[in-house]
Amino acid sequence: MLGIARTGIQVTLASVARGNGLRQLCSGGSGSYKNILVEKKGDKSQVGFVRLNRPKALNSLCDDLLRELNVAFREFDADPSVKAIVLTGSSKAFAAGADIKEMQPKTYSTVFGTNFINDWTEMLRIRKPIIAAVNGYALGGGCELAMMCDIIYAGDSAKFAQPEIRLGTIPGAGGTQRLPRAVGKSKAMEMCLTGDMITAKEAESAGLVSKVVPADKLEAAALDLAERISRMSLMAIYAAKESVNAAYEAPLSQGLLLERRLFHASFGTRDRSEGMSAFTEKRAAEFKDE
């Protein structure tokens, strides 16, 4: 989960953060949040849009930012008008990792006693799909944060890495577990043992990223995807996300059973009836999320 401070990658980013360093107090921004910007987007305002907003720190993930992110996700999850969420950063960095200066003084008794970074997993309980729109650097915790999302779109200049090994530790928020599931054991092992970065195209070829687009088109592409998802029945969206995620947790036989039961359950919804009726009548379906 760690980021870039005091690693070889820090040298690479030095020019990006020139004059600012990689540390920014958890402050700034606007509205009720200090470290993120939150709004609704799309033609019908059905897309929750969250931007990490610690530009001087290249969006390094301090505790306050993660707490705010969890609150924003919960609010969008509870909002019946929102059907999908986009998470992004800046053109320079999606998130350059966890806040190393915040983490450096911690001891084993502190991190174990407080179950440090457990809050990171809260977003996994969000039922609506989260799309990560990654431009620039997604390193350490930034890469892990992207992998906690349901879909990753990347700008063509994006770079991904798990550089924790260079700090004498290992990923702690899913880097050794989600990365092998996305790119396979060999590639994940290489990334975790060297800390080397991979490009957006390499990430797409390996299966980490769903789509690569020009950097200046990234947010529009992610928003377009979120809007297309938002046209579907929310009941079906919930079921599809739950079923796909189960493929990573359950044996095939249990996953297939869950899929079948959720498929059966859809026959109890009005939207399933509307969708099939619209198909047979050759018209556009009008889903009511019922």
The catalytic site residues sit at 98, 141, 144, 164
Check: CB of residue 226 under 8 Å from CB of residue 44: no
| Tally of CB atoms within 10 A around 195 | 21
Check: CB of residue 223 under 8 Å from CB of residue 132: no
Six-digit token string for 253: 């036989």
Check: CB of residue 161 under 8 Å from CB of residue 135: no
Cα 83–Cα 89–Cα 94 angle in degrees, nearest 5: 115
Give CA–CA dist 71/77, Å, rounded: 10
- Per DSSP, the chain holds a count of helices (H) and strands (E) of 12, 10
Annotate 219-276 with DSSP letters as a single string. HHHHHHHHHHHHTS-HHHHHHHHHHHHHTTTS-HHHHHHHHHHHHHHHTTSHHHHHHH
DSSP state of 207: T
**What are the beta bridge partners of residue 85?**
48, 130
Give CA–CA dist 220/10, Å, rounded: 30
**Token pair 């009008």: residue:** 286
Q: Are strands 137-139 and 130-134 parallel, antiparallel or unpaired?
A: unpaired
